Structure 1
Amino acid sequence: MAEVPGLLVSAPSSGTGKTTVMLGLLRAFAEDGLTVQPFKSGPDYIDPAFHRAAAGRASFNLDSWAMGPGLWAAIAARSAGADLVVAEGSMGLYDGVAKPGAQGQGSSAETATRMGWPVVLVIDVSGQAQSAAATALGFARYGDIRLAGVILNRVASPRHERLARLGMERAGIPVLGARPRRGDLTLPERHLGLIQAVEHPDLETAIAGYAAFLRDHVDLAAIRAATGAAPLPAPGNLPRPPAQRIALAQDAAFSFTYPHILAGWRAAGAEILPFSPLADEAPDPQSDLVWLPGGYPELHGGRLAAAERFRAGLRNHAETRPVHGECGGYMALGEALVDKEGRRHRMAGLLGLVTSYEKRKFHLGYRLATLQAPMPGFGAGAALRGHEFHYSTILDEPDAPLADVVDADGNPVPETGSRRGNVTGTFFHLIAEATA
């Protein structure tokens, strides 16, 4: 397969405006008649849905900590047929973990280097002018990335822009655009970051606005001309499906599944049967497996507690066939969930887990889990790489642990997951088997 030219949009830190730049680029290039393939560097399960809405093409995660070379190349090959790749980084360009995983530390710089993508650095120039060039110069020289140029963001005035451009000129760094400060140029957020794409009150209008604003202030031709690519190893396989007929919870409470996981299931011929717990739908009774992904059950405790058909169908399935939940899905399989007001809501009761969003604690990071017992798709002893990101606290977890779990530094993690009969659950979101 010929490599598709691309670039990676990154920043010195989170909160600089790179996501609105990313969405604007995707939509603007698509409006120009290009087929654009989006990617997300790192373990983010919210941004890819926004990318898809902007580009009209599914976005996929690339993760150097969690993914081996074969899986990485298989996901990168999803760009086949595209004219251009635009990828979005996570956090700051060089941010990753201390100890390498499957191929690296999980930084966006590693993704850009491995793929041969030049970096477009979005710099928030609020409160500085020529000094922004020192930041850009440091990022250009710190690692092995190729800096295509910078987009100056949140420029206060024409004079401010002139001074910031002067600094970049002295540093020899191309300025690809300068976006004036605009208070409305943000995406709504909640405790895990952005709201989900399906919840945005008018996502299409917002994305069209980002593209129009970008056209007015950014040199799209220069950005496209700065793209590049590197040869990739032969692609391996996407993740295998854990069953033939998979009932998958999909609604505003359960939506966090990595796109490459679902793509692998479908590619292998599995049938995915969506259902909505919030609409009190039971999983298809002919399904071989029920899978509850992560999401925001803590925001919908009352509706889930009242979903009798959903719970009855789940219980009936679990009598003879496997049920698995990740993070929010795991919480929904438990005995109860306490919301932020302290109200206790009855959950499915297939596990003894009780969690509280009233007593919040931030849980974030990569996870390496060695299974003590089988879970759907994997036998005991399998090593799985994933990522944990939630605020809920465990009040009770009485069932047998599912796995021995450590963080990226090898430190034990108390959130081991649970198992009872045909039911399993984990707080980490599965990305890949450690050997993939």
Structure 2
Amino acid sequence: MSRVLMVAAPRSGSGKTTVTLALLSAFRRRGLSVRALKTGPDYIDPAFHQEASGVPCANLDSWAMQGAALQARLARAAEGVDLVIVESSMGLFDGLALPDGRRGAASDIAAFLDIPVLLVLDASGQGQSVGAVAQGLAQWDDKVTVAGVILNNIASDRHEKLCRAALKQTLCGVFRRDRSILLPERHLGLVQARERGDLEAFFRTLALKAEAELDLDAVFALSRPIDASEGKKASLLPPPGQRIALADDAAFSFLYAHLAEEWREAGAEIRPFSPLNDEEPDEGADCCWLPGGYPELHGGRLAAARNFRDGMRRFAATRPVHGECGGFMVLGGGLEDSAGMRHEMLGLLSHETSFARRRMVLGYRQAQLLRPSVLGAEGMMLRGHEFHYARVTDPGSDAAFARLQDGEGNDLGVAGAQRNRVSGSFFHVLSRWE
């Protein structure tokens, strides 16, 4: 029988991802089969989790996914593994200003699925105050079980002694400060896992650190058993086609693992291709999906990819194409990079986007489709999010794709674009909402 545990913290930047990767790597070295899940909308951390565990990392989100879907996702993750580690996004109780259970907070997931929580406390710049923080989190919500603590960024023996003395919760070890294991970041989050050639050595370093500094037996004992049959099947989004041509490289990598998994389970076939390597979508596919990523870092190569451009135009003449965020940018007429240089894009839609004149947009979104598309019928409601720095500088002349609301139901107007079989927007879909 599999077991499950959540790694959480009071805030972002506390070391949750590093600790999660260390635990995955250490338990895997012990011969256990492990899998990770991530709460909230996130593509980048799950890619590291996949590399550390050897299996895809799916997402759990209490705002975008309904109860049966959450149970199904956990049950699927538990199939065939000894331990599932769920990494929290943001702080444990951070979410929308909505009633508990539907806020998109990690605490919603921990309470609903009865997952014990292992707190990661960044002790830098404090001593006994970590005890007050741990106690406050442990007592904040009696539906959330804070089962243990890991102290991170401990600077010395004296620092450790002060922090230990203040804790009332089970201490599962301390991570000594080590600048060599910091994960590099860029806009939108960490530098992508696929861009690092040192991951095997990095994970070995983390595993050895966990073995030396953490009580892995105590961590495992905090987890609770979970039966893989606890959840029933629940589809979040039907596949957009039977054979899906999927752009997949460093410029197009933000496809949720739970969508790919469900599409394959529904009998769909995913056929990846690389625009950066000037590849075109498979002619045998019946739809094409351009996910988000970092096209703004590769504008010149994409503009010069003639086979990709010509192949996409031939494909779109007879079959549907959809682009999310970065994919939406590439479907437009042009993309301006951070230096202000414009690169010609596919021109399948008429808008222009810029990363030079950037503005961060971040938040949950509910989208109502304004016309039929590869995502569903007119009027269908979808839930997901936006997270981007690029902006539309010229909306073009195409019809709008969807009407958006934020996570609290406030109207944001229409967004995206649609022309014939081609559609796209900055909106990332997590699930269909019924």
Asked if the contact 2:334–2:351 (Cα under 8 Å) also holds between the matched residues in 1, the reply is: yes
* Post-superposition offset of 1:262: 0.5
* Post-superposition offset of 1:127: 1.1
Relative to structure 1, is the Cα distance of residues 100 and 391 closer, same or farther in structure 2, using a 3 angstrom cutoff?
Answer: farther
Asked if the contact 2:236–2:431 (Cα under 8 Å) also holds between the matched residues in 1, the reply is: no
- Is 2:200 the partner of 1:225? no
Map residues 160-309 of structure 1 onto 2, 5 A cutoff. Answer: 160-168=159-167, 172-229=168-225, 232-309=230-307
Relative to structure 1, is the Cα distance of residues 72 and 360 closer, same or farther in structure 2, using a 3 angstrom cutoff?
Answer: same
* Post-superposition offset of 1:235: 3.2
- Is 2:331 the partner of 1:333? yes
- Is 2:68 the partner of 1:70? yes
Question: For 1:179-231, what per-residue CA distance to the aligned partner results, in whole angstroms no more than 9, with x for missing partners?
Answer: 11111121111001111110013111111111111111110000101111578
Map residues 69-108 of structure 1 onto 2, 5 A cutoff. Answer: 69-78=67-76, 79-99=78-98, 104-108=102-106
Structure 2 length normalisation: TM-score?
0.96
Structure 1 length normalisation: TM-score?
0.96
Question: For 1:230-254, what per-residue CA distance to the aligned partner results, in whole angstroms no more than 9, with x for missing partners?
Answer: 7845332353211111100000000
Asked if the contact 1:36–1:55 (Cα under 8 Å) also holds between the matched residues in 2, the reply is: yes
Asked if the contact 1:373–1:380 (Cα under 8 Å) also holds between the matched residues in 2, the reply is: yes
- Is 2:365 the partner of 1:373? no
* Post-superposition offset of 1:374: 1.4
Question: For 1:11-53, what per-residue CA distance to the aligned partner results, in whole angstroms no more than 9, with x for missing partners?
Answer: 1111111111000100111111111121111111111111111
Query: Unaligned regions of 5+ residues in structure 2, if any?
Result: none
Q: Using the alignment, how far apart are the partners of 2:22 and 2:376 within structure 1?
A: 40
Q: Tell me the secondary structure at the aligned position of residue 386 of structure 1.
A: strand
Code of the aligned partner of 1:165: R
* Post-superposition offset of 1:82: 1.3
- Is 2:343 the partner of 1:345? yes
Question: For 1:286-344, what per-residue CA distance to the aligned partner results, in whole angstroms no more than 9, with x for missing partners?
Answer: 21101100000000000000011101111111111111000000000000000000000
Provide the aligned C-alpha RMSD in A: 1.4
Asked if the contact 2:71–2:113 (Cα under 8 Å) also holds between the matched residues in 1, the reply is: no
Asked if the contact 1:283–1:314 (Cα under 8 Å) also holds between the matched residues in 2, the reply is: yes
Q: Using the alignment, how far apart are the partners of 1:301 and 1:5 within structure 2?
A: 45
Q: Tell me the secondary structure at the aligned position of residue 401 of structure 1.
A: coil
Query: Unaligned regions of 5+ residues in structure 1, if any?
Result: none
Asked if the contact 1:46–1:194 (Cα under 8 Å) also holds between the matched residues in 2, the reply is: yes
Code of the aligned partner of 2:133: T
Code of the aligned partner of 1:91: M
* Post-superposition offset of 1:414: 5.0
* Post-superposition offset of 1:284: 0.9
Code of the aligned partner of 1:413: L
- How high is the sequence identity, in percent, across the aligned residues? 50
* Post-superposition offset of 1:81: 1.6
Q: Tell me the secondary structure at the aligned position of residue 74 of structure 2.
A: helix
Code of the aligned partner of 1:197: A
